[in-house]
Structure 1
Amino acid sequence: MRHKSIVKMKIKAKILLLTLGITAFCAISFLIIASYTMDRGAKYILAQSINLGKESAEKSRTILEEQAKQNLTQLVSLQAESSNEFFGAIRMEVDIMTKFCKFLWANDKIDGYIQYAGDAREKDLSFLYRLAPGVNIKKVNTEFLRLRAMGGVFEPYLRYNKNIESFFLGTQTGINILWPDTKGKTNKPYDPRIRPWYTDAVKRNRIGWTEIFKGASTSKPMIACSGPALDNQGNLRGVIGITVTLTEMLNVISSHVQDIGYAFLLDGKGNVIAFPALDQEERKKDYGMNNLFETKNGELKGIVEKMVGGHHGFSKIRLNSGEKFIGFAPIRETGWSMAVVISAQSALKLADETRNDIMAYTLKKKQTIVTLIYDIRKYMILVFSAVLLITIFIAMRMSAKISKPILDLTEGVQDVGKGNLDLSLTIKTGDEIEDLANAFNKMTNDLKLYIHNLKETTAAKEKIESELQVATRIQASMLPRIFPPFPQRKDFNIFASMEPAKEVGGDFFDFFLISENRFCFIIGDVSGKGVPASLFMVIAKTLIKNEALRGIPPEDIFFNVNNALCEDNDESMFVTGLVCIIDLKTGQVDFSNAGHNPPLLMDKKNKRCEYMKITPGFVLGGMSEFAYMKESVLMSPGDILFLYTDGVNEAMDPEGNEYTEARLKQVLSKNDTRDVNHIIESVSLDVKQFAKNADQSDDITMLVFKYNGLKP
C-alpha cells in the first residue's frame, strides 16, 4: 500500500499559517455574509418575529385547552361521583326495605296499619295489587295485609326524592304490590315469580340493577334496583325493589354546559341511555347509531371502549358537527359511564382572538425591526474587523512562546522512550503546558517507583503461589484419592470428592477399616476458609482417625477429639463433623453428629431418598466436656448413605439464591444408577449448572457409601 508523503512543518509555522488562513477565510466569509444579510436579514428576522407571535398564540391556546380539559374532567368526575352516591343510596334503601319485610313476616300482629312517630302524612299511600293465576286472596290475605303496611315507609321517600318513580314487591305466594297507584286492584292475572326482575334478583341472590327501560305511562328512561327478601330463617319470601327515573338527574348534568355542550349516559354495552340536551338531528349527524360500538368514527369507538371499560379520561375528537372535547367518568354502581361534550371552538374562542391580536401587533412592528437589524449589522462589521486584526497580532506574538515548551516536551518524551527515566524538565509558562511538564516529571518518577515495586511484588507473589501450590498438593495427599480404595472388598463401595473454594480448604473426609468387618467413614467442615482452616482441618482429621483406630464408639471419638481441640484454641475455630462406623456383616451403622448436616439415606427397597432425622449435637472445639450422642441405622443391601458439607446446599447463583437441601434431595431421588461415582458427578454437575458463573463461596465436599451386604 502506498502512503502519501506528509510535509513536516514546525509548530511555529503552523500557528502562523493557521492564523493567516483563518483571517483570510473570515474576511472573505464576512463580505459574503454581509452582502447576503443586506438582502435577506430583515426578512429573516421579521419571519422569526412572526413565528414568535404564532408560538405565543399557540401556547395561549394550549393553556386554555389544558384548562378546559381540567375543568371538564373535574365536572364529569364530580357528576359521576354524585350519580354513584345517588344510586348507592337507592341500593341502601332497597336493603332497608328487605329488612323491613323480614320484620313484617316475623310479626303476626301487624294487620296493615302502623302508627309512625311524628307521622305527618295527610293520607295513606295508594297502591295496586295483583295476584298470580290460581292464587286465592283468602289464603294470602294475612300476608297481603301485613305487607301493605310498607306504604307508610315509602311515602316520605316519594315525597322528597323526585327521581323515585315507584316501589314494587313480589312474593313467593304470588302477590304483587305497586306503590303508588290509584287502581287499587286489577283482576288481570299477574305472576311476579316468572318476571325477569323477580327471577334475576333470585338468581343473583343480592341487590342489583336492571337494564334501562321506558315507563309505561310517561315514556321516561328508568332503571330498577331490586333484591331478594328473606325471613328470619333465611328462606326466600319475595323480591322488593325501587323504580328510578333518570330525567331529573340528566337535566342537572346538562345544565352545567348547556351553552357550549351537552351530556349523555352510556350503559355497559355501549348503548346511549339518553341525550337530554341534544336534538335528534344533531345526534344523528354526530353519532348515528344508538349503540356507539357501531359507529364508523374510529376515534369515537376508542372513547366508547374506554367508557365501557370503566375508565376516567379526556379526549379531543372530530365529529361531523366540528371538533369536540369529551370528558368521561364511570358510574360504578350501575356499570354506566357519563360523558360531557363541549365545542372546542367555543372553549378556545378566547385563544383564537388572542392569536389574531398578536399577529396584528407583530406586523405593525415590521419597520421597527428592519431598522434595528440594519444598525446591528453596521456594529457587527466594525467589531469583527477590529477583533480580526487583534487576533492576527496576538497569534504572531504567542506562536514563538507556545512552540518552545512544546518542542522541549517532545524531546523529553523521546528521551524517556529510549529508557532515560532520570530526565527532568524545567518549564515555567504558568499555564497548562507547565502542568503538562510537571505531570511528565511525575510520570517518570512514578514509572521508576512502579518498576521497582513491580519487581518486588512479582517475586513475593510467585513465592506465595509456589507455597500455596505445595500446600494444595500436601492437603490433597492427606485425603484419600485412590478409588476404589479397597478393590478386593465386594461388600461395600465408597467414593468422595472435595472442591476447595480457595487454593486450600477447610473441608475434609476420610475412611478406613478399623477391623476386618468394621469400617469407618468421616466427613467434616472447619469454620472459615483458606490456610487457617486447612491447618485446623489437618489437626481435626488426624485426631479423629487416631481415636477411631482405637476401636472406641463414635460418641467417645468426638468426646476425646472435642476436648483436645478446645485446649489452646485462641482463634475460637471449630469443626462440624459426622463419624459413621458400620458393621459390614449386619449392616448396622453407629454414628455421632457434631453439628453437621444430616445425611441422606437412599433406600433401595422402598425406592425413597430421605434426610435422616438425627440429633444435631454440638460443634467440635466449641465447648469442652460436651457429651455426644450415639445413634444407629440398619442398612439393607443396596442402600446408600450420602454425606455432604454445607458448601453443596448453600451454593449460590449470580442473583444470590441458594441451591437448597430440597433441590439436592430431588437430584438424588432421580438418580437410578446406584453407582457411587455417578451420584457425586451428577450432584456436582447440577450444582455447577445452578451456580452458573458465580464464584464458589465455600468448599464443596461429598462422600457416598453403598452397602452391598456381600461377604468380603
Structure 2
Amino acid sequence: MGPPTARANAAREAGSVPLPLTTPKSRRCERFWGALLPGLQHSASAEWIDGTKRRPRSDLCRFPNRPERLPFRRALTQDRPPGWSGSLLNTALGIRIFRLPEGRFGIAIGDVSGKGIGAALMMASLEASLRGQASVGHDLTELMKRVNSLVYEASSPNRYATLFYAEYDPRSRQLSYVNAGHNPPVILRKSAAACRVFRLETGGPVIGIIRQCYQQGSFPLEPGDLVVLFTDGVPESMNVRDEEWGEDRLIEFAKTCHDLPAFEAMTRILAAAETFTGGASQHDDMTLVVLRVLT
C-alpha cells in the first residue's frame, strides 16, 4: 500500500479516504492522518466559548488564518460545555465554507455518532469525501449518494453521521441543499412586524448506515435573512431537571435576535441556552452558526 504519507496524498487527491486503519493508536496511523489533515483547507473561523474567549482548539479540525471573502456575515462557535466528559477529540464537523467554481460557495455542517478517535477519524473521512466530491461538480443528490457510499464502505457498522450540505450562488441568491439526517437549519425572514421561519429539511437519512438516494431542496435567500445552523448539542442542552432546551425554544429565541448583527445574535442564543441549563453539566459538543445574507 506504500508509506502512510504517500497513501494520505493519494487519498487527498482522490477526494476520499481509504478504510480506517485497525490500529488507531499506532504511530503508523498518526503519521497517516498527520499527512492527510493539513491538506484539508477550511474556510471558517472559530472560537471556543465557555464564558471566556480562548484560542481555537481542535485536535482534528483545523481552520485557516485567512478565511474566504463571503457574501454574508457570519459568526461561529464550537463550544465544549462546562462539565463535558469523554474524549478530547472533536467529532463535530463544525462549519465548512469553501469556494466552488462559477463563484458559488459550499456550506457544510455535520456531526458523528459517538466519541473518541474512531468517531474523529470517521469525521475526517466524511470531510475528505465531501470536499473531493464537491470539487467534481455533481448535482447534490448524486454528491450525497457518493459521499454516503464512501463513508458506508469506510466505517464500522455502529458509526453514522448527520450532514447538511448546501451550495449557494450569490448572483441568484439561490441556496441548493441536501439534509442527511441533520438538525434542519433555520432561515429567519422579517416580514412586516412578523418573523417568518423556514426549515431546511429536504434530503434523506443519516450518512453511513445504508446505501440510499437523497432528494435536493432549494431556497431563495433574500438580503437580511438570518440563517441559523447548529448541531444537536445546542437544542439538547439539559437543565438540572433533565429537561431539554429544545429546537422550539432555540428558534423562538433566535427570532428575537433577527435584527442583531450575526455575532451578537449567536452570543445571545448561546447565553439563552446557558441560562436554561442553570449550570448543569453537559455531555455533547455544540456548534452554532449564524449567517446574515448581505445585499
- TM-score, normalised to structure 1's length? 0.31
Q: 1 CA distance for matches of 2:199 and 2:209?
A: 24
Cα distance, 1:601 vs structure 2: 0.7
| Among 482, 491, 495, the residue aligned to 2:75 | 495
Aligned to 2:59, what secondary structure does the other structure show? helix
- In structure 2, the CA distance between the partners of 1:638 and 1:568, relative to structure 1 (3 Å rule), is closer
CA contact under 8 A between 2:111 and 2:162: conserved in structure 1?
A: yes
Show the 5 A alignment for 1:307-706: 473-477=58-62, 480=63, 485-487=67-69, 489=70, 491-500=71-80, 501=84, 502=86, 503-508=88-93, 509-606=95-192, 607-612=194-199, 614-615=201-202, 617-624=204-211, 626-706=212-292
**Compared with structure 1, are the counterparts of its residues 613 and 547 closer, same or farther at alpha carbon in structure 2 (3 Å cutoff)?**
closer
Give the 3 Å change call, closer, same or farther, for CA 506–592 of structure 1 in structure 2: same
Query: Partners of 2:99 and 2:184 in 1: how far apart?
Result: 23
Quote the RMSD (CA, aligned, Å). 2.4
More deviation in 671-680 or 542-551?
A: 671-680
- Listed one character per residue, the Cα deviations across residues 523-549 of structure 1 (whole Å, up to 9, x for unaligned) are 001011233222211111111111112
Structure-1 separation of matches of 2:59 and 2:128: 14
* Structure 1 residue 494 displacement after superposition: 2.5
Aligned-partner Cα distance in 1 for 2:215–2:203? 9
Aligned mates of 1:655, 1:510 — CA distance in 2: 35
Aligned-residue offset at 1:605: 4.1
% identity of equivalent residues: 26
CA distance in 2, matches of 1:674, 1:585: 25
1:576-612 Cα offsets, whole Å, 9 max, x none, are: 1100101110111000010111111111345414141
Amino acid at match of 1:651: S
Higher relative contact order, structure no. (Cα contacts within 8 Å, ≥ 6 residues apart)? 2
Q: Which letter maps to 2:75?
A: F
Please tell me the residue identity of whatever aligns with 1:604: K
Distance (whole Å) between structure 1 residues aligned to residue 275 and residue 152 of structure 2: 39
How does 1:52-67 map onto structure 2 within 5 Å?
none
Where do 1:158-169 residues align within 5 Å? none
Compute the displacement of 1:486 (Å).
3.1
Question: Does the Cα contact within 8 Å between 1:590 and 1:630 map onto a contact in 2?
Answer: yes
Give per-residue Cα distances to partners, 1:550-570, cap 9 Å, x unaligned: 222222221111001111433
CA distance in 2, matches of 1:482, 1:605: 37
Change (3 A) 1:519 1:674: farther
Q: Is contact 1:609–1:668 with CA below 8 Å preserved after alignment? A: no
* One-letter amino acid matched to 1:486: E
Distance in 1 separating the partners of 2:65 and 2:267: 16
| 8 Å contact from structure 2 (residues 190, 258) kept in 1 | no
Tell me the CA shift for residue 496 of structure 1. 2.2
Letter of the aligned partner of 2:68 in structure 1?
Answer: F
The one-letter code of the counterpart of 1:619 is V
Give 2:13's aligned residue: none
The structure whose Rg is larger is: 1
Do 1:572 and 1:621's aligned partners in 2 also have CA atoms closer than 8 Å? no
Kept in 1: contact 2:203–2:214 (CA 8 A) = no
Amino acid at match of 1:549: S
Q: What secondary structure is seen at the aligned counterpart in 1 of 2:110? A: strand
Query: 8 Å contact 2:186–2:200 — kept in the other structure?
Result: no
Distance 2:137 2:260 in 1: 30
When residues 523 and 568 of structure 1 are mapped into structure 2, their CA distance, relative to the original with a 3 A threshold, is closer
Please say if residues 609 and 665 of structure 1, whose CA atoms lie closer than 8 Å, have aligned partners that are also in contact.
no
CA contact (8 A) 2:183 2:232 kept: yes
Distance (whole Å) between structure 2 residues aligned to residue 604 and residue 565 of structure 1:
39
Contact map agreement 1:651 1:658 (CA 8 A) in 2: yes
The structure with the largest helix share of the pair is 1
Contact 2:134 2:143 in 1 (8 A): yes
Kindly indicate whether the alpha-carbon contact (under 8 Å) linking 1:526 and 1:573 is maintained by their aligned counterparts in 2.
yes
AA of the residue aligned to 1:614: E
The number of aligned residues is: 235
Amino acid at match of 1:620: I
Q: Extract unaligned runs of 5+ from structure 2.
A: 1-29, 38-56
Alpha-carbon distance in structure 2 between the residues aligned to 1:494 and 1:551: 25
Q: Displacement of 1:655 after TM fit? A: 1.3
Q: 2:129, 2:200 → 1: CA distance?
A: 27
Aligned ranges 1:176-191 → 2 under 5 Å: none
Shift of the alpha carbon at 1:672? 4.0
CA distance in 2, matches of 1:513, 1:586: 16
The alignment partner of 1:475 has SS state of coil
Partner of 1:27: none
- Secondary structure at 1:637's aligned position in 2? coil
- In terms of fraction of residues, the more strand-rich structure is 2
**1:517 Cα deviation from its structure 2 partner:** 2.1
Structure 1 segments, 4+ long, off by >6 Å, are none
1:124-156: CA deviation from partner (whole Å, max 9, x where unpaired): xxxxxxxxxxxxxxxxxxxxxxxxxxxxxxxxx
Q: After superposition, where does 1:223-234 map in structure 2 within 5 Å? A: none
Post-superposition CA distance 1:656-709 (Å, at most 9, x none): 010011110121111144422122211111111211221222111122222213
Q: Shift in Å at residue 473 of structure 1?
A: 4.1
What secondary structure sits across from 2:114 in the alignment?
coil
Measure the CA separation in 2 of the matches of 1:636 and 1:548: 25
The aligned amino acid for 1:547 is Q
Question: In the superposition, relative to structure 1, how do residues 506 and 555 fare at CA in structure 2: closer, same or farther (>3 Å)?
Answer: same
SS in 1 for 2:265: helix
Measured in 2, the distance between the counterparts of 1:589 and 1:552 equals 16
User: 1:600–1:643: 8 Å Cα contact kept in structure 2?
Assistant: yes
